[in-house]
Amino acid sequence: MQVEFQIFRQLPPGPPRLQSFWLETSPSATILDCLNQIKWEQDGSLAFRKNCRNTICGSCAMRINGRAALACQQHVEEELQPNRPHPTRITIGPMGNLPVLRDLVVDMQPFWNDLSRVDPFVSTAGRRIPEREFLQSPAERDHLNAASGCILCGACYSDCNAKEVNPEFVGPHALAKANRLVQDSRDSRREERLQAQDNLSGVWGCTRCWNCNTVCPMGVAPLDQITELKQGILARYPNEKPVSEVSRPIRHRKTLVQLVRSGGWVDERRFGLQVVANQGRDPKGLLSLAPLGLRMLGKGKFPFRFKASSGTATVRRLIDVVRQEGLE
């Protein structure tokens, strides 16, 4: 079958451009097979990374038809969809959120730098193995399997919306690794690791867009790892503790639950004052609300009254049950 491959070519500082290659290939061929064929038969200057060809090393991560994937894992027939405007065309580009070195090759150093920020190794104290073996139960080890499957390909990092808008965000790969260490019974720095991610560059910077779970080729489900990490952080702040005494991200979450529990949905008048202004304790936060409030007043969109939801009682019971089960 004839397939058109549209490949982004770039040699910085020059701008990127699309170049088309027509290839006679089979539906069962991998994208990496096709890239090899293009390089060997049509254009030897085409640059891309590869190594194991067996979804182990993660070297060949790139964007295929707009999403990050491993070229050695994706097959031509999977990428050709009849409902597309061009059903015989496959578009290939470099990973996102990383500087392009040439064509499909990106500079992975920012990726590694962000990973190092979570100190991704079992703590020194945990590595002091006594004379006998450092034992883990099967259940303890099984809990680490998903995160341990990460091959550090960068697919989740590439398609992370939070990283795109917030360069300080550590990235889903790093948070998945951080959670793996938090859950590891051999590590002795659980509290320190949880505290380190309790900020907007850590777990609270995640927008929960699900992209990382969608593109992960190994089933690590980084968003699930981030969620578990959040639960560990929230467990450090009991519900009895006043929201005024916690960080803004924690206050945001706790205030949201409290307002929904009391009225069935969020009372927007109180939300900003309680979260951003911390009930007036944060003057800068209070002042930051003024421009938005004035614009809302000017457009007649400021809610002067709040009407509780007709399902408030049901919502309250659901929240109470979740709290009783320890699932909040």
Residue 85 has pLDDT above 80, yes or no: no
Counting the structural domains of the chain, the total is: 3
Residues 218 and 152 in one domain: yes
Residues 218 and 159 in one domain: yes
At residue 161 the predicted structure's pLDDT band, cuts being 50, 70 and 90, is very high
Separation of CA 69 from chain center: 15
Residues whose CB falls within 8 Å of the CB of residue 167, separated by 6 or more in sequence, listed in order: none
Q: What is the predicted pLDDT for the residue at 325?
A: 80
Q: What is the predicted pLDDT for the residue at 328?
A: 63
Torsion sign over Cα 295, 298, 301, 306: positive
Residues 256 and 167 in one domain: no
Q: What is the predicted pLDDT for the residue at 211?
A: 97
% of the chain surpassing 90 pLDDT: 77
Residues 118 and 207 in one domain: yes
Domain-terminating residue out of 185, 212, 234: 234
Q: What is the predicted pLDDT for the residue at 130?
A: 65
Q: What is the CATH number of the domain that holds 96?
A: 3.10.20.30
% of the chain surpassing 70 pLDDT: 96
Q: What is the predicted pLDDT for the residue at 240?
A: 63
Q: What is the predicted pLDDT for the residue at 275?
A: 93
Q: What is the predicted pLDDT for the residue at 183?
A: 94
Residues 222 and 260 in one domain: no
Residues 171 and 67 in one domain: no
Tell me: the pLDDT tens digits for 61-83? 999 999 999 999 999 999 998 77
Residues 251 and 220 in one domain: no
Q: What is the predicted pLDDT for the residue at 201?
A: 96
At residue 34 the predicted structure's pLDDT band, cuts being 50, 70 and 90, is very high
Closest residue by Cα to residue 186 from 132, 239, 136: 136
Tell me the pTM: 0.87
Q: What is the predicted pLDDT for the residue at 7?
A: 98
Tell me: the pLDDT tens digits for 88-141? 999 999 999 999 999 999 999 999 999 999 999 988 776 666 666 677 888 988
155, 68 contact by CB (below 8 A): yes
Query: Containing H/E element for 6?
Result: strand 2-9
Longest dimension (CA), the chain: 73
Residues 141 and 87 in one domain: no
Torsion sign over Cα 146, 148, 149, 155: positive
Residue 242 has pLDDT above 90, yes or no: no
Residues 101 and 38 in one domain: yes
Domain-terminating residue out of 199, 234, 269: 234
Q: What is the predicted pLDDT for the residue at 217?
A: 97
Ordered strands of the 17-24 beta sheet: 17-24, 2-9, 89-93, 61-64, 67-70
Residues 117 and 100 in one domain: no
Closest residue by Cα to residue 198 from 170, 164, 218, 220: 170
Domain span holding position 205: 109-129+137-234
Strand partners, 75: 30
Q: What is the predicted pLDDT for the residue at 126?
A: 62
At residue 239 the predicted structure's pLDDT band, cuts being 50, 70 and 90, is low
Residues 209 and 273 in one domain: no
Strands 61-64 and 17-24, sheet pairing: unpaired
Q: What is the CATH number of the domain that holds 192?
A: 1.10.1060.10
Least confident of 38-47, 82-91, 108-117, 166-175: 82-91
6, 89 contact by CB (below 8 A): yes
Residues 114 and 98 in one domain: no
DSSP string, 167-212: TT---HHHHHHHHHHHT-TT-S-HHHHHHHTSSTTTGGG----SHH
Across the range 274-289, mean pLDDT stands at 91
Residue in the structure block whose two tokens are 């894992």: 73
Q: What is the predicted pLDDT for the residue at 116?
A: 98
